[in-house]
Chains A and B, each alone.
Chain A
Amino acid sequence: MLARIAQELFWLGRDLTRAEHTARMLDGAFHADVVGGASGPGAPQPGIALSWNGVLAVIGAKPPAPGEEAAEGAVAEAAGYAPPGMLGRHEIAPLLTLDTDSPASVVSCVYRARQRARTLRDVISAEMWEALNSFYLSLGRYDLEAALATGPYSVYQEVKERCALFWGLLAKTMLRDEARSFLEAGGHIEEADMVLRMLRVASPAVDSDAGLGDSLQDHEAEALALLQAVGGFQAFRRHLRRVPTLASVSRFLLYESQYPVSVLASLEELRVALETADPMPRSAPPVLRLGRLIADLELQQRTGRASESLIEKLAIVQDELEVIDHEIDERYFAVAAVAAVHSGV
């Protein structure tokens, strides 16, 4: 198939998955913010690393210049505004949800996905296109800013449902061909990347013990926030039947192949997709590298021992994933990428 089409499919999958994860994380941050109350003047939640600044860090987005939105005094604080320099609910939630200027926002992700789908209408099924298009239209239909202020829950709920609808229609209506594989590959690599990012933000920086040791015990609030941010609380509970601790949740989200959103499970799905799409997967650098990464993770899961600390481990996995990402670019889209650079000039 055309390299350009493959690349658009791949990024359509990524954009949609990113929108969903961002919505879930924001929903979680919002919940933690509300139940945690005002712990101090604008201070980030103690113990909850997936707070507003945490979500920002996951996306790697740049906060607007401090002090830009001058929110003064105790009144603003009581209303949930952070003092200048400290970003809170009222800055970050709209920035990452509605702001069309911010490429990381949910709305921007959906907008890009829909733009891509427009050029893919002959490739994806009509039902998928309609689902995505009506998703895009629904975001413009009502006053999102007001909805976000009164009940952000319903906004994020809608994002989750619309994304699920798209993937559900894909499963039902799209041929299991190369196109579908690239679309799914994009979804899976983005999923793995987002979960890795979340884990890195949520894990304590100082991690004396090797791997997932006792030092991570009992960060229950943090562990719950992580599970909430992937919608995996119930799956975790059914799997482990134990009080979630940061250590057990991190292990679950990294290694548990029974859980579809874990890093390992996403990577395995990614491999399946690439092997389907690639006519010669045995000589494809991204597939080979991916295979080594998966084997490495499986070995660690079985032995329960890693030579590095969790935080280092996560960084290594993510670096490796980035290399795989570039290798995917190289192998399948390189021709297209060059063309894009030329036409962009």
Chain B
Amino acid sequence: MSVDELIDGYLIPEGSVDELLEDDGQPKAHVRSLVATLRRLGPEALAAAGLRRDAIFMQQGITFEVSGSNGERRDRPFPLDLVPRVLTASEWTVIKRGLAQRIRALNSFVDDVYHGREIVRAGIVPWSLIVSRPSFARPVHGVRAPGGVYAHVSGCDLVRGGDGSWRVLEDNVRTPSGISYVLENRLAMTRLVPELFAGQRVRPVEHYPSLLLEALQAVAPSPEADPTVVVWTPGPLNGAYFEHAFLARAMGIELVEASDLVVRDSICYMRTTAGLRRVHTIYRRLDDDFIDPLEFRSDSVLGVPGLVRAYRAGTVAIANAIGTGVADDKAIYHYVPEMIRFYLSEEPILENVPTYLLSDEKVRRWILGRLHEVVVKPTSESGGKGVFIGPQASADELAAEARLIEAQPELFIAQELVHLSTVPTETGNGRLTPRHVDLRPFAVFGDEIRIVPGGLTRVALTEGSMIVNSSQGGGSKDTWVLDDGDIGDALPVGIAAREPPRLPDVRYGGWHGQSQQQQQARS
């Protein structure tokens, strides 16, 4: 197979950079052997591996539900693209440091918001903006989370712009999902296309459940050596239920629903066959609004009455902490670089995408004048819902969006359009075409911040599209961080290479010796 057949007509979109190939179609230095292997495999082998992938994913139940055109819902295998996205060790070091810095600042912000409000008094973030956020949680005012950690699990979305630099597009410190796909993707890749790994050292990701469990145990309010940690899911109908079950299984802990938990005398228990058993840490995968009908939405049937009381009493740790969502609101995002300077006295390592709050009269005029160039997002939505992309909108859509903004400007932010980088992606028949990607690395904050190398690369499978959410037709890629000998992220290295011990040979036995068989056959 020639490279031309594989990437025939590969055209990198104007304004974007490709992460694997140069403009002339030659592979970049760090992926030369990978691209050579892809060439050797050719389109047929890639397409065949794709079929095996779908079969394995269906069999293992790694699927998500989509609604067909006629409204019927059915399971589709999770779309994993077989061409990995590759980051060099030095690139990763910058991302890792930048994220750790950002998460420390966001964590300090949450603590500050519910306690001293230093940042408000310093005149950096307006109090009126903070209290008007839907995720601001009055019930936890003055409650310090065990260990002072609020954002135990975070997944910030990063993008790489046309200049090649990494920027943070969105913070996500509520219940970011996707880590199960990172682990399943890696496992699937090693099974489907082991050839691609030859000659490279890719940093492992499979220790994430161990990191998470250690962090959750570290924040448990318990003098006992063996605290009980549970994963709390809204239930099997939730879209991310697969991930909840995956994490519970990988950590070997219980997956509970609301009806399994009960609060007595400000202590949280789970109902077991051996009676009530105390729970020390809850890794919850549902929003604040639903967790306690006594304090938040009274119509929530998914919640545990009294849980916030137990939390206030300090008998149970909740990850992520209640009220953390205030830090990842899209309107607060604007202030994160300032937060980093304020709390840490450091310059941000990762920049924001330039963002404008539309509640300001002057800014709004200016943005409305150039609506066809920017991206507008509702502040309190997630999952790519309601995102308006100026350059791709018709005149009617522009006018409609302008009316929406004029009506309730405080509900929207505007961002400069980032030309997301592209990675070659298999789009039928084993041929590769450029598709836009983002990156969601996952960080765990227990005693310290640990970040799993790589993260979830989401890819927009529609040509030219920059919306990568899987609910909007996005897929994913395995994300490799190459190892250059720096073992900072690697698993603890075991014993040095050595000769295995000599064991006695295995025995072979039984009645029928070979010579006897031959005689029998001849007779």
Q: Which A residues have a C-beta under 8 Å from some C-beta of B? A: 4, 7-8, 10-11, 14, 18, 30-31, 34-39, 43-49, 53-54, 56-61, 77-80, 103-104, 112, 115-116, 119, 150-154, 193, 197, 200-201, 204-205, 218-222, 224, 234, 236-243, 246, 311, 318, 322, 325, 329, 336, 340, 343-344
Q: Bound state CA distance, A318 and B494, in angstroms?
A: 25
A60 touches B500 (CB 8 A): no
The 0/1 profile, CB within 8 Å of A marked 1, for residues 485-523 of chain B is 000000111111111111111111111110111010000
Given A35-B202, A201-B501, A119-B33 contact (CB < 8 Å): no
- Does the CB pair A340–B513 fall under 8 Å? yes
Please report the C-alpha to C-alpha distance between residue A241 and residue B209 in the assembled complex, in whole angstroms. 11
What residues of chain A lie closer than 8 Å to B278, measured between beta carbons? none
Task: Give every chain A residue within 8 A of B369 (Cβ-Cβ).
Answer: none
Knowing that A53-B499, A60-B506, A115-B512 touch, tell me 15 more A-B residue pairs with CB under 8 angstroms: A8-B510, A8-B511, A8-B512, A31-B190, A37-B202, A37-B483, A44-B497, A49-B500, A78-B33, A151-B52, A197-B506, A200-B503, A246-B494, A340-B512, A343-B519
Do residues B504 and A57 form an inter-chain contact, with CB atoms below 8 A?
no
- Asked if B252 contacts A236 (CB within 8 A), the reply is yes
Nearest opposing residue in chain B for A223, CB measure: B494
- Chain B residues within an 8 Å CB radius of A7: 509-511
A59 to B508, CA, bound (A): 11
In the complex, the answer to whether B496 meets A46 with C-beta atoms within 8 Å is yes
Binds A, one of B192-200, B268-276, B456-464: B192-200
Asked if residues A343 and B494 are in contact (CB atoms below 8 Å), the reply is no
Evaluate whether A45 and B497 lie within 8 angstroms (CB atoms) in the complex, with A57-B502, A112-B510, A241-B253 already known.
yes
From B483, which residue of chain A is reached at the shortest CB distance?
Answer: A37
Among B213, B493, B510, contact of A46 (Cβ-Cβ < 8 Å): B493
A298 to B197, CA, bound (A): 44
A205 touches B516 (CB 8 A): no
Partner of B516, one of A80, A151, A222, A343: A343
B490 to chain A, nearest CB (A): 9
Is B214's beta carbon under 8 Å from chain A?
Answer: yes
- Contact partner of B505 (CB less than 8 A), chosen from A38, A47, A60, is A60
| Minimal Cβ-Cβ distance residue in A for B211 | A243
B493 touches A11 (CB 8 A): no
| A47 lies within 8 A of B500 (CB) | no
Residues of A within 8 A of B519 (CB): 343
Please give, as numbers and ranges, the residues of chain A lying within 8 Å of B491 by CB-CB distance.
Answer: 47, 220-221
Q: Which residue of A lies closest to B197 (CB)?
A: A34
- From the candidates B48, B197, B502, name the one contacting A35 in the complex (CB within 8 A): B197
**Residue from B190, B494, B503, B513 in contact with A219 in the complex, judged by beta carbons closer than 8 Å:** B494
By a CB distance below 8 angstroms, the chain A residues around B498 are 49, 205
**Chain A proximity of B254: nearest CB distance (Å):** 10
Give chain B nearest CB distance to A253 CB in angstroms. Answer: 16
Q: Tell whether, in the assembled complex, residue B201 and residue A39 are in contact, meaning their CB atoms are under 8 Å apart.
A: yes
* A8 vs B510: C-alpha distance when bound (angstroms): 5
| B198 A38 Cβ-Cβ under 8 A | yes
Nearest chain-A residue to B186 (Cβ)? A35
Q: Could you list 10 A-B pairs, sorted by A, with CB under 8 Å?
A: A37-B201, A78-B198, A115-B512, A119-B512, A201-B501, A222-B494, A237-B252, A318-B504, A322-B504, A340-B513
Q: B251 in the interface, Cβ–Cβ < 8 Å?
A: yes
Interface residues in chain B, defined as those with a beta carbon under 8 Å from any beta carbon in chain A:
33, 45, 48-49, 52, 186, 190-192, 194-195, 197-202, 204, 206-207, 210, 213-214, 226, 229, 249-253, 483, 491-513, 515-517, 519
Find chain A residues with CB under 8 A from B202 CB.
Answer: 35, 37
Instruction: Flag if A204 contacts B511 (CB, 8 Å).
Output: no
The complex places the Cα of A343 from the Cα of B513 at a distance, in Å, of: 8
Cα distance, A44 to B497, chains bound together (Å)? 6
Measured CA separation A154–B515 after assembly (Å): 35
- The residues of A that contact B508 with a CB separation of less than 8 Å are 103, 112
Instruction: Write out the residue numbers on chain B whose beta carbons fall within 8 Å of the beta carbon of A60.
Output: 503-506
Given contacts A59-B506, A220-B491, contact A205 B199 (CB under 8 A): no
Q: Is the CB of A57 within 8 A of B501?
A: yes
Residues on B with C-beta less than 8 A from A58 are 500, 503
Measured CB to CB, the closest approach of chain A to B193, in angstroms, equals: 8
Note all chain B residues with C-beta closer than 8 A to A112. 508, 510
B200 touches A220 (CB 8 A): no
Q: What separation, in Å, do the CA atoms of A79 and B515 have in the docked complex?
A: 41
Q: Which residues of B contact A322 (CB under 8 A)?
A: 504
The 10 A-B residue pairs whose C-beta atoms are closest, nearest first, are: A237-B252, A47-B494, A57-B500, A37-B201, A60-B505, A11-B510, A153-B191, A219-B494, A344-B513, A78-B199
Interface centre among A4, A34, A201 (most CB of B within 10 A): A34
Q: How far is the CA of A100 from the CA of B228 in the complex (A)?
A: 51
Instruction: Tell me, rounded to whole Å, the shortest Cβ–Cβ distance linking A245 to chain B.
Output: 9
In whole angstroms, how far apart are the Cα atoms of A104 and B250 in the complex? Answer: 33
A103: which B residues are within 8 A, CB to CB? 508
Decide: A234 and B252 in contact? CB cutoff 8 A: yes
- Chain B residues with Cβ under 8 A from A325's Cβ? 507
| Among candidates B210, B252, B500, residue contacting A53 with C-beta atoms closer than 8 Å | B500
Q: Specify which chain A residues have a CB less than 8 angstroms from the CB of B213 in the assembled complex.
A: 241-243
B444 to A: closest C-beta gap in Å: 13
Shortest beta-carbon distance, B100 to chain A, in Å? 22
Residue contact A201 to B503, C-beta cutoff 8 Å: yes
Most chain A CB within 10 A, of B207, B214, B503, is at B503
Query: Closest Cβ of chain B: how far from A151's Cβ, in Å?
Result: 6
- Chain A residues, CB < 8 A from B198: 38, 78-80
A241 touching B494 by the CB < 8 A rule?
no
Cα(A220)–Cα(B208), bound, Å: 13
Complexed CA–CA distance, A152 and B52 (Å): 12
The interface residues of chain B lying within 8 Å CB-to-CB of A47 are 491, 493-497
Q: Is the CB of A219 within 8 A of B252?
A: no
Which of these, B201, B493, B496, contacts A221 with CB under 8 Å?
Answer: B493
Task: Using CB atoms, name the residue of chain A closest to B40.
Answer: A79
CA distance A262 to B206 in the complex (A): 24
Chain B residues whose C-beta falls within 8 Å of the C-beta of A44 in the assembled complex: 497
B190 contacts which chain A residues (CB < 8 A)?
Answer: 31, 34-35
CB pair A116–B199 under 8 Å, yes or no, is no
Min C-beta distance of B405 to chain A, whole Å: 49
CB <8 Å contact, B495 and A219: yes
The smallest beta-carbon distance between B59 and chain A, in angstroms, is 10
**Shortest CB distance B463–A (Å):** 30
B507 to chain A, nearest CB (A): 7
- Which residues of A sit under 8 angstroms from B252, Cβ to Cβ? 234, 236-241
Write the nearest CB–CB distance from B116 to chain A, whole angstroms: 36
| Given A18-B506, A58-B503, A36 and B492 contact (CB-CB distance below 8 Å) | no
* In the bound complex, CA of A98 to CA of B427 (Å): 35
A240: B residues at CB distance < 8 A: 252
Task: List chain B residues, Cβ under 8 A from A237.
Answer: 249-252
A63 vs chain B, min Cβ distance (A): 11
- Contact partner, B199, options A38, A219, A224, Cβ 8 Å: A38
In whole angstroms, how far apart are the Cα atoms of A222 and B511 in the complex? Answer: 38
A329 to B510, CA, bound (A): 10
Q: Which residues of A contact B52 (CB under 8 A)?
A: 151, 154
